[in-house]
Structures are given as C-alpha cells and as structure tokens.
Structure 1
Amino acid sequence: MNNLTTNRLTRYSKITLMAYLSFFGLLVMYSNIIDYSSNYEYVGHILSMDTTRENLNINYRAITSPMLHHRVYWFIITLEVIYTVCCLIGTYQLFKHRHASIDVFHEAKKLSIIGLLIAIFVYYVCMQVIGVEWFNMDESQVWNAKDWARHIVDFIVPLLIFLSLKIER
C-alpha cells in the first residue's frame, strides 16, 4: 500500500472505470444478440410510433417497415459491438501502460476515447435525440428507454472527461 500514490490510483481508477463500461457493453451486446426478438420488438415499437399518442402533425415520422426495423436494430447492435471492442482494447491498453510515462499512458487512451464517443452516439444521439425527440419514445408507457439511456450517458460523459484529462503524473 505504500507504493499506492494518488497518481497511481488515478491511473488505476481510469482503468477500472473503463473496465466497468466494457463489462456493461458486453452485457448489452449479449442481450441484444441472444434475446434478439424481444429487443427487436422494442425497436419496432419505437420506430413505428404505435404506442405514442396520435399526433397527425408528426405521424409522418413513423417507420413501419419490418425490414427497416431490422436494419436499424442491426445498426445499433453493430455500434454496440464497435464501442465495446474499442473499450475492451482501450482498457487493455491502459492496463498495459499503467506504469509507463505520462505521455505513453495518455496516448494509450485513444481507443477508450473512441469507444466512449461511439457509446455516447448510441445512447444520446440514437436513443435520446432520435428516439425521444423524433419518434416520441418518451410518450410510450411501455417502450420508453429515455431514463435508462440518460443514466448511461450520465456515466459515460463524466468518464470521458475524467479519462481525457492528463492529470496523472
């Protein structure tokens, strides 16, 4: 414990937090692939806007094609795989360079940062911006993941800031 300095602890905390997000990504990937039909149904209801209140001004936004539902869902799964792989490899790179110089450790953050940015795209842009603002997901009593996505973004954004800062020595 005498070798555990604040600088070393800062590096380890960045590695640990990235490992947490990588584990989350693995669980989400597993769920979306193994339980494809349940999660596909979710995406289909959001895109179809069939569980939101009837609003003639925005009904044109609904996508009712099952083929497009599958494509959108596979796009989301693909992004989840990419961000998870980036986060996993990024976590490994951080761990591998945990005793390296400041500059080497800082450069080892690249894939982690890319993974976090893609995760923000999935959970903020896709779910909160497009899902809520375009498809009115927040009006659905059953198929609403607005709060779930917000909680994920509330973890990822501070992690991105913390990870990106070059504060360790």
Structure 2
Amino acid sequence: MRAVCIMVMGPSGVGKTTTAKAIANALNWTFAEGDEFHPASNIAKMSAGIPLDDQDRQPWLETIRDWMTQKSKEGVNTVITCSALKRRYRDILQGTEADLRFLQLDAPVQLVGERMSRRSDHYMPLSLLNSQFDALEPLQSDENGIVISVEENPEQVVSAALQALAPNI
C-alpha cells in the first residue's frame, strides 16, 4: 500500500503552512514546506517582485514530486505545502508514487491581502498576490482533492479539513 501525501495548496497567504503543520501534527505525519524546495534563483526572483514562470517552476515541482515518491517508498505518510496553482503543475506532482490528495485552501483575495500585509517573515511580496490569484486554476472534479474555505480561524479550518479528509486517510 502506498503512503499518503496530503498537499495543502493555494495562493500565497491562504494559510498553507499553518494548516499543513496542524494537520501533520494531528495525524502524526511528516511535514514539509514546499517553499524550501525552491532553488535560490526562484527565491531571488520572487524576493525582487518578479513572478516565476513555468520554466522556473518545473525543476521545483519535480523535486517535490521526487521527495513525495521517496517518502512513499519509505512508507512515510506526509503533509506538504505547495501552491500547485495550475492543473499542469498538479499533473507533474501526480507523477509521484505516493497516494496524493490535494487540499485546496480557498479565500477571497482581499482577505489574503490583509493577512499578507501583516506578515514580515516571507519572501513573497504583497505585490505578487494578484498574479497568484490570476494563475489559480481550481481543482477539477477528476483531481483527487477537496476545497476548504479559510475564512474561519485556523483551528476551524483544520477541523473542517480533517473531517473532509477522514474517509480517505
């Protein structure tokens, strides 16, 4: 049986890290921050306010996919964050040998902007927020995943996510 990987996805600022860490803690699974898989060149671009293009993202997505596969081969269930904004990105990620389930976090752009304006410890500038929402292609019915609103507090979001994921994990 393949190990399960829950990928918490969505635009920057929706609460991927907070949600993913809480889910990993609740399930006692391994957590990984997808942003840590970015090469230095991608971080430099984003820090300079330059959106990444598909060519920039390709090796990053492949590295995440390969990490999920390795953890699955080790029998380790995981929770990882990754924006995974476009279907073609998710198609690359679905090449993993893990049993991948997407958890898309959904919120109005205004709410996310307010949240991002209050944080100072992230390289993604507020100026790139609209490009993230413009690029977002929501999960489709043939993708293995669920969509959860993050308009509530983090505890309620995690509870709703765990409840929705429970039948399949």
Q: Structure 2 length normalisation: TM-score?
A: 0.29
Is the helix fraction higher in 1 or 2? 1
Bigger CA radius of gyration: 1
Of structures 1 and 2, the one with the larger relative CO (CA 8 A, separation 6+) is: 2
TM-score (norm 1): 0.29
